[in-house]
Amino acid sequence: MSKTTLTLNARLDRGDFALDVELALPGHGITALFGPSGSGKTSCLRVLAGLERKATGTVVVAGQTWQDSARGVFLPTHQRALGYVFQEASLFDHLTVEGNLRFGFDRTPAAQRRHDWRHGLDLLGIGHLLQRRPHELSGGERQRVAIARALATSPQLLLMDEPLAALDAARKAEILPWLEQLHESLDVPVVYVTHSLDEVARLADHVVLLEQGRVRADGPLADMLTRSDLPLSRGDSAVSVLQGHCSGYSPADQLAVYEIEGGQLLLPQSRQGVPQPGTRARLHIQARDVSLSLVMPSQTSVLNVLPAVVDSVTENTAGQVVVSLRLGADGQGATLLSRISSLSARRLGLAPGQLVYAQIKGVAMVR
Ligand SMILES: Nc1ncnc2c1ncn2[C@@H]1O[C@H](COP(=O)(O)OP(=O)(O)OP(=O)(O)O)[C@@H](O)[C@H]1O
């Protein structure tokens, strides 16, 4: 994990709502702010952006103090090197895409410029749209342009407030790969507000869970998704995220082998998409796609069956439990979630420390 370069300590009293957060966040990658409606996610972004004049505390980004109430420091928004992308792209309709990007670039003081206005064109795949006007773009294209305009200002911090929430499922699916790719190339931290656990799992490196204006927990993505004391591991979309790297490919079976902490996974690959050995990937395994057996199944069509040790068994809703497993016969590997019926858990007599075999019915490779 990269070193901390983003500090947010903030208090904001709105009468019936109080924000009180202390966060030290990585200076690289995407931090997701996740939590129920009204928990204070947007308020955190607004404090970072200097839009909450009444908030007290400190905001330090890349070593620069944007706010330190005790010392009377409060930089106004226009002096904070940040990009802000909202749910609805707020582009200038009278300007072309190029005009919008140049606008972002031109309003950036020369001393702060680290990139040309074209910086986001390839990252977001919008080079062919430069002469269009915003009303001639799809919702997904508009959001990509809005992100590129934010990048054209050479921000030290990129804030994104539910950038996909206004898009339908097809447009979301279209834009998510761009965000994933962007994430690899960006040299500034992104704070990303979302309600969607799927977006968190696909994009985030670090997760902050907010509840009623306070930080319930924060930490690296894989830990936060699988902590049995947090709600993220309990919903229908509970998922484990594993880091893997490719160690081989069988052309005959069209299967790639990925090494993960505590085991190996076989993944079907098309011939066009054969990965190079060493290629890293983020692998998603839905908790509902993992079933358990006490013996190594000898006759099964499931490709991936891994030994694992039970870490905890937590009651879920409607006759279901979430079993948290540590991969490997020694239980020292990555954490994997399995969601099974309470009846099955009772029949198997599952208890912490027990060796089981996890049958993994589906693995999605995210990047
Ligand atoms: N301008 C405002 N004036 C007064 N109260 C506000 C204002 N903006 C937000 N609030 C209140 O502050 C609380 C936190 O709001 P905030 O928008 O930060 O939550 P959120 O987690 O982003 O919610 P959502 O997921 O619904 O967007 C809510 O109770 C909200 O009603």
Do strands 64-68 and 239-250 pair parallel, antiparallel, or not at all (unpaired)? unpaired
Q: Indicate which atom in ligand 1 lies nearest the CA of residue 45.
A: 18
Q: Indicate the pLDDT class of residue 270, thresholds 50, 70 and 90.
A: low
Average pLDDT value for residue range 226-238: 88
Query: Are the folds of 4-221 and 239-365 the same?
Result: no
Q: Does the pLDDT of residue 294 top 90, yes or no? A: yes
Tell the residue number behind the tokens 């490719």, with chain if given. 246
- The pLDDT of residue 367: 61
For the domain spanning 239-365, the CATH number is 2.40.50.100
- The pLDDT of residue 111: 77
pLDDT tens column, 44-69: 999 999 999 999 999 999 899 999 99
In degrees, rounded to 5, the angle at the alpha carbon of residue 156 between the alpha carbons of residues 150 and 34 is 80
- The pLDDT of residue 105: 82
Q: Indicate the pLDDT class of residue 138, thresholds 50, 70 and 90.
A: confident
Torsion of CA 123, 128, 129, 130, to 10 degrees: 90
pLDDT tens column, 341-363: 999 999 999 999 999 999 999 77
Q: What residue's CA is closest to ligand 1, atom 8? A: 43
CA of 38 to the centre of ligand 1 (A): 5
With the most atoms of ligand 1 within 8 angstroms of its CB, the residue from 12, 16, 41, 86 to mutate is 41
CA–CA distance, 256 with 195 (Å, rounded to integer): 33
Domain 4-221 sits in which CATH superfamily?
Answer: P-loop containing nucleotide triphosphate hydrolases (3.40.50.300)
Average pLDDT value for residue range 321-337: 96
Mean of pLDDT over the chain: 90
Q: Does the pLDDT of residue 7 top 50, yes or no? A: yes
**3-state helix vs strand vs coil in the chain, percent to 5:** 25, 35, 35
Q: Does the pLDDT of residue 169 top 50, yes or no? A: yes
The domain spans of the chain are: 4-221, 239-365
- The pLDDT of residue 298: 84
SS3 49: helix
How big is the chain by its Cα radius of gyration, in Å? 23
DSSP 136: G
DSSP 166: T
With the most atoms of ligand 1 within 8 angstroms of its CB, the residue from 20, 39, 209 to mutate is 39
Torsion of CA 202, 207, 213, 217, to 10 degrees: 140
